[in-house]
A and B are shown apart, each in its own frame.
Chain A
Amino acid sequence: ETGVTQTPRHLVMGMTNKKSLKCEQHLGHNAMYWYKQSAKKPLELMFVYNFKEQTENNSVPSRFSPECPNSSHLFLHLHTLQPEDSALYLCASSQRTSGTDTQYFGPGTRLTVL
């Protein structure tokens, strides 16, 4: 599946580094999402963008900064992260016409914070 792509697929960074995760969807959807998946924890919704506007921030620490320049691209800027932020970060998109839209996930970025 190549509908939603994410780069990089793997990232190792120190706590003082600044890095960005990129997500691109080729499905013509109007909504994009960032999720965090930690070991032994449910998928956690982080941010929701609908038509480039942020509609949900699920109490995410400010060291995570999302950016959505258009409906096809989504970024997650990372700075001064903590080791507990190590996780799989998943991007998803959907065509948000109702509360029952299907979300399509990208392959994720496996992040390790040293």
Chain B
Amino acid sequence: GQQVMQIPQYQHVQEGEDFTTYCNSSTTLSNIQWYKQRPGGHPVFLIQLVKSGEVKKQKRLTFQFGEAKKNSSLHITATQTTDVGTYFCAVNDYKLSFGAGTTVTVRA
């Protein structure tokens, strides 16, 4: 399956600040999905990107698919304590291949 790498592995954010997590691949990706897993919870689907250069927004979350379809990013503005969790990107090529995730903690 297609491989994706996520950076950073950990993100410690001051409440109210912005941050970005990245998902990178050495090959062209057919699509990217983003999931969020709260501590003690299970992955929950957030968004899917398919088109080159696609940008989608969900309130304070902005998802972007690179022009070359080899990378994706998730940008969160004005971080809140509810944003705590691990954010995974995944490639769906008739089976999901997950990145290792970015675990986000928030300092109040």
Q: Which residue of B lies closest to A45 (CB)?
A: B95
Classify the interface of chain A: helix, strand, loop or mixed.
Answer: loop
Whole-angstrom distance between the Cβ of A34 and the nearest chain B Cβ: 12
Please report the number of residue pairs spanning A and B whose Cβ atoms sit closer than 8 angstroms.
47
Please judge, given known A-B contacts A90-B42, A107-B42, whether A102 and B97 are in contact too, CB under 8 Å: no
In the complex, the answer to whether B48 meets A102 with C-beta atoms within 8 Å is yes
In the complex, the answer to whether A101 meets B42 with C-beta atoms within 8 Å is no
Q: Which residues of A are at the interface with B, using a C-beta cutoff of 8 A? A: 1, 33, 41-43, 45, 48, 56, 90, 96, 99-108
Answer whether residue B33 sits at the interface, using C-beta atoms and an 8 A cutoff. yes
The 10 closest A-B pairs by CB, nearest first: A43-B98, A105-B42, A42-B100, A99-B94, A42-B98, A105-B43, A102-B45, A100-B31, A108-B42, A107-B42
With A45-B95, A100-B30 known, 16 other A-B pairs at CB within 8 A are A1-B44, A33-B96, A42-B98, A42-B99, A43-B98, A90-B42, A90-B43, A96-B94, A99-B92, A100-B31, A100-B50, A102-B45, A103-B92, A103-B96, A105-B42, A105-B44
